[in-house]
Chain A
């Protein structure tokens, strides 16, 4: 029973990170109808920037803030420089460009920091919390991870729901032509979407790196599971991304805890297949519009 509680709590902590990546993919999908394979690579790169800032200033929070800012900038710059020229072209071309961007960022990180694993500091203690004498399997830092992602998600949700900028973004995602006719600068909205996705990715990067170490490929597996979470939830649904992430995090935590670390990706595949067989466009997909 104690084990079960531990696996659940640590699953929630990891699930929040998958949720952050999933949410960043959903933001980009809703705006541009493409998958950003560079999302993990961008997160890795901004985390290296954070490490550099922490090393020079000695302050974790300076690194944290710089990483988020770098994520914003990197997302916007990527959209403006390499994505915008191919937005009218075949969708796979844009996907290959994001793959090129991923490879480019991993190569740059390799040049500056070589391929070795680096440890990344945590904001709070990573020793396990206890309730009375029972270990809970999570640390103060894990709690911070969950709270940070949840707070960012809620902030975004409130922003989308209650601000005029949020309304513009929802309008552009819902129907770009009508939005453009109503005077919304759809191109700018798309750039903002990429910037916010970059921020979410950067957040996931600094939050996950204390437990995975940091190296050029360190975000590959996180990206795969974040992508899986987005697909499970439905790529058009921000709420689906968060729930998909939590579901996957907890399920993989049980799988890893009870069955061993080798089976986690197989279990993820099993979950994904079951979900997609029942709902081919994710749990939170709306009614399918059939074009005849």
Chain B
């Protein structure tokens, strides 16, 4: 995704937009709601996949940024009654600023320390709603009133409008991120991810690159939160649990870390698999506790199986499949099917520049949070093969 040219990116976005429009008209209100839900997740997961896949920083706290975006949206719509597009811009700006603050703190942390700090952020921040129930509505949360615009007529279903708005925001986000990924900024993120010292020697401002990645990721999460507010019509702390932050990271990895297509795959999985599995369970007349938990079990098993079978995530699997069918250019399919994704000998990329682009975000990830292994040389790590 990151190595595609602008016309291809725009083309893919337009095709997807048309597809979503047709689907939303053909399908019923519940499916429209699911489309909106997927779009919300795509927006958040795309930001996270850039942070973790490209800049090499882990975040288990993007749910907190979603909460900030959602509460900002609810408060502005409640007290000021602005149109959603203005609210979205303000919510994005607020989360960008908080993302910068968190990013400054996070820039020093690596691996599990960054994971722990962001995880606790994701758990702790929503509890502010209980501390300030007067403003933030406490456990009950805040209601958000969102209606279809007048020009669509009175018969236009709200769920379809919600699906359109959130899909539009998700697609614009994807296009912007795809562009950013192939720009100088994206290359500096990959450089920092792969080797901080080398990147610094090459003139990349490592701290600034890392903080910028946090800002971008937080902004995406904030916009996803704003969308969540208008899609569900309610902003309450119960929506922003540890489960949400973990689901976002899961979607990014299962889809294919560092690839925007992977963000879409991952979001489809976390929204559709549980619903599909509960439909199947319900249609077999199982007891309530079984019917409501079999989907959970299936989801857990699926996560484990995908990681065991496709270490590069679903997008890695798709590339491998397309490579088998001879659809994608040989170079891409080869990078995807080789676990350690260096270009084969004798086919070295023409330039360092191309090498960075080729390695992209879809292969060869560093350890959990940083480009430098957080352990001293000689300790067990992946280059030594199996244990």
Contact = CB atoms under 8 A, between A and B. Distances in A.
Question: Is the pairing of A and B real?
Answer: yes
B116 A100 contact: no
Contacts of A231: 112-113, 116-117
Nearest to B373: A291
Given A35-B115, A186-B380, A224-B120, A91 B297 contact: no
A33 B308 contact: no
Interface string A96-111: 1101111111111011
Contact of B376 (A87, A228, A289): A289
Contacts of B197: 291-292
Interface stretch (A118-126, A155-163, A266-274): A266-274
Contacts of B289: 110-111, 113-115
B300 A100 contact: yes
Nearest to B385: A88
Interface stretch (A13-21, A139-147, A174-182, A202-210): A174-182
A272 B380 contact: no
Of the listed residues B58, B242, B380, B381, the one surrounded by the most CB atoms of chain A closer than 10 A to its CB is B380
Given A175-B378, A177-B378, A292-B197, A101 B300 contact: yes
Contacts of A265: 120, 123-124, 127
Interface in B365-387: 365-368, 372-382, 384-387
B372 A186 contact: no
A42 to B, nearest CB: 13
B311 A86 contact: yes
A104 B297 contact: yes
A90 B377 CA distance: 17
Given A88-B386, A282-B113, A289-B376, A107 B124 contact: no
Given A97-B304, A104-B297, A178-B378, A262 B131 contact: yes
Given A29-B112, A91-B367, A107 B339 contact: no
Interface string A222-238: 00100110110001000
Interface string B90-119: 000000000000000100111011011101
B339 A272 contact: no
Among B254, B307, B372, chain A packs the most CB atoms within 10 A around the CB of: B307
A163 to B, nearest CB: 22
Interface in A130-176: 172, 174-176
A96 B367 contact: no
B253 interface: yes
Contact of B299 (A82, A96, A107): A107
A111 B115 CA distance: 30
B185 interface: no
Given A99-B250, A110-B296, A178-B378, A228 B120 contact: yes
B308 A97 contact: yes
Sorting the interface of chain A by its residue count into under 10, 10 to 19, 20 to 34 or 35 or more gives: 35 or more
Contacts of B131: 262-263, 266
A208 B40 CA distance: 37
Contacts of A107: 293-300
Contact of A99 (B110, B246, B257): B246
A177 B378 CA distance: 7
A277 B367 CA distance: 22
Interface in B116-143: 116-117, 119-121, 123-125, 127-128, 130-131
Residue among A33, A87, A113, A224 facing the most chain B CB atoms (10 A cut-off): A33
B117 A96 contact: no
B236 to A, nearest CB: 15
A105 B296 CA distance: 9
Nearest to A108: B297
B301 interface: yes
B303 interface: yes
A250 B231 CA distance: 41
B386 A91 contact: no
A contact patch SS: helix
Contacts of B385: 88
A217 B131 CA distance: 23
B374 A101 contact: no
A97 B384 contact: no
A57 interface: no
Contacts of B300: 100-107
Contacts of A174: 379
B14 interface: no
B232 interface: no
A34 B293 CA distance: 28
B234 to A, nearest CB: 20
A272 B105 CA distance: 11
A183 interface: no
A187 B379 CA distance: 14
A262 B125 CA distance: 11
A100 B290 contact: no
B375 A33 contact: yes
Nearest to A277: B105
A91 B382 CA distance: 8
Interface string B279-302: 000000000111011111111111
B242 A224 contact: yes
B52 interface: yes
B387 A186 contact: yes
A259 B131 CA distance: 10
Given A92-B365, A110-B292, A280-B113, A97 B381 contact: no
Contact of B368 (A91, A113, A178): A91
Contacts of A115: 289, 292
A93 B246 contact: no
Interface string A252-291: 0000000000110110110011001100111000000101
Given A97-B303, A100-B299, 13 more contacts: A87-B386, A90-B311, A90-B367, A93-B253, A103-B299, A107-B296, A108-B297, A220-B242, A227-B119, A262-B130, A266-B128, A266-B131, A291-B197
**6 residue pairs, one from A and one from B, having the closest CB atoms:** A104-B300, A100-B303, A107-B296, A110-B293, A103-B300, A176-B380
16 contacts: A33-B381, A86-B307, A88-B382, A88-B386, A90-B366, A96-B303, A104-B300, A111-B293, A111-B297, A114-B288, A172-B380, A262-B131, A281-B113, A289-B377, A291-B372, A291-B377
